[in-house]
Amino acid sequence: MDARTTERSPSAERPRLPTTAPEQLPPGNREANGEPRKQEKTKPSPSLLARFREHRLLASVAAFVLLVAVIGGAIYWISIRDYESTDDAFIAARSFSVAPKVGGYVIEVPVTDNQHVNAGDLLARIDDRDYIIAVSQAKAQVAIAQANIDNVQAQIDSQRQQIDQANAQLEQAEAQLKFAEQEEARAKDLVDKGAGTVQREQQTRSNLQSQQANTSRAKAALSAAQLGVKTLEAQLESARAALQQAQAQLDQANLNLQYTRITAEQSGRVVKLSAAAGTLATAGQALMMFVPDEIWIVANYKETQLRYMRPGQQVEFTIDAYPDRKVTGRVASIQPGSGTAFSLLPAENATGNYVKVVQRVPVKIVVDQWPADVPVGPGMSVVPWTKVR
């Protein structure tokens, strides 16, 4: 190579980079190139008023809903503050079992389950042939007792006639005795004066004694006749007592015959029917249950709810089975004591482990008119609202 060759400068050996305009460089590269960072412009946040103007419809709806909620809450509080309510309330009735008073085979049951009956309707009938025979026998006993009374009465009538006859005979004997006494006195007087005979005096004395004996016999016959009447009158009383006994047996037989027809004493519904034709029923055996039409509500209010509650206050309630029905009634009475006080095992509070519990007090509510198109009965739940103010 030529010695005069000159050396290459380092700058001549570096590769040349492309140049970029400062406006095209990112901020970091601008700072690297020595250019000052320009302050970026930030968008200002909208104010609350601007937001409200932007969502005016939504805010109006929210404000209206809030106002309605406040007004509705106030109205609801004003409307319920005068009422006391409880969900511990049920329909009650004096339901009872229907049982025959006499035993026998059941031959007819003209009712069925849940059927409504009126007072006097036939519920069941027991075979009455044995009871018809008993009535006939009782009638025969009454006839016998009446015949005995008639017989004794006839004897008494006859005996009274004998008494009348004995009285007549006694009167006659007493008259003859009086005449004999007078004859005997005249004969004795004549004998004493020497004008009469001793024989005449003895004859009159004998006649006097005979009349005295006749009088005594007449008195005895009268006493016997009177005693006979008293005896017959005692027999008559006994016969009358026998007649009364026979009549009582006849009445009982007639009652037993009537008891073979089991009828409804009041209107209501037949439930839990267990009787059937051919069943041998005994006296007192339950054949069915009966729920009268007279039903009411027993609401067990807390004792703290009874401050303003009084009989006669109006009540509105709904039946859980028919929540769309609203029924009205009134408070009939408030039980003088809590429900636990009248339970089978009342609570004994005089103990060391006593804990105070708010008691429930039964309140009887009578209903103005029950719904006629739906079945209601004991045990169904209701929710009463009692207006206490």
d(CA 318, CA 328): 9
pLDDT, tens digit, for every residue of 158-215?
888 888 888 888 788 778 778 777 777 777 777 777 666 777 777 777 777 887 888 8
pTM: 0.64
User: Residue 52's pLDDT is what?
Assistant: 59
> Residue 42 pLDDT > 70, yes or no?
no
Q: Are residues 212 and 360 in the same domain?
A: no
Give the residue carrying structure tokens 């859980």.
Answer: 320
Mean pLDDT lowest among 63-67, 134-138, 147-151, 205-209: 205-209
Q: Are residues 148 and 201 in the same domain?
A: yes
Q: Are residues 136 and 246 in the same domain?
A: yes
- The phi-psi region of residue 293 (left if phi > 0; otherwise alpha if psi is between -120 and 50; otherwise beta) is alpha
Q: Are residues 208 and 120 in the same domain?
A: no
Q: Establish if 329 belongs to a structural domain.
A: yes
β-bridge partners, 386: 84, 315
d(CA 299, CA 313): 14
Q: Are residues 266 and 122 in the same domain?
A: yes
Q: State mean pLDDT over 72-87.
A: 80
Q: Establish if 30 belongs to a structural domain.
A: no
User: Residue 47's pLDDT is what?
Assistant: 64
> Residue 130 pLDDT > 70, yes or no?
yes
User: Residue 79's pLDDT is what?
Assistant: 66
Percent of the chain with pLDDT over 70: 84
Banded model confidence at residue 50, pLDDT cuts 50, 70, 90: low
Q: Are residues 90 and 107 in the same domain?
A: no
What is the tally of structural domains in the chain? 3
Q: Are residues 167 and 217 in the same domain?
A: yes
User: Residue 19's pLDDT is what?
Assistant: 46
> Residue 257 pLDDT > 70, yes or no?
yes
Q: What is the CATH number of the domain that holds 225?
A: 1.10.287.620
89 CB neighbour count, 10 Å cutoff: 23
Q: Establish if 288 belongs to a structural domain.
A: no
User: Residue 104's pLDDT is what?
Assistant: 95
> Residue 246 pLDDT > 50, yes or no?
yes
Q: Are residues 271 and 253 in the same domain?
A: no
Token duo for residue 10: 């380092």
Sheet holding 261-263, edge to edge: 261-263, 122-126, 104-108, 280-281
Q: What is the CATH number of the domain that holds 119?
A: 2.40.50.100
Q: Are residues 138 and 251 in the same domain?
A: yes
Q: Establish if 321 belongs to a structural domain.
A: yes
Torsion sign over Cα 315, 319, 324, 327 = negative
Phi, psi of 13 (to 5 degrees): -85, -20
Structural domain boundaries enclosing 329: 83-94+294-345+353-387
Element (H, E) at 298: strand 295-302
d(CA 119, CA 293): 11
Q: Are residues 308 and 227 in the same domain?
A: no
Q: Establish if 134 belongs to a structural domain.
A: yes
User: Residue 312's pLDDT is what?
Assistant: 94
Q: What is Dmax (Cα atoms) for the chain? A: 251
Q: State mean pLDDT over 43-58.
A: 62
User: Residue 115's pLDDT is what?
Assistant: 94
> Whole-number mean pLDDT of the chain?
83
Mean pLDDT lowest among 45-59, 73-87, 138-152: 45-59
Q: What is the CATH number of the domain that holds 300?
A: 2.40.30.170
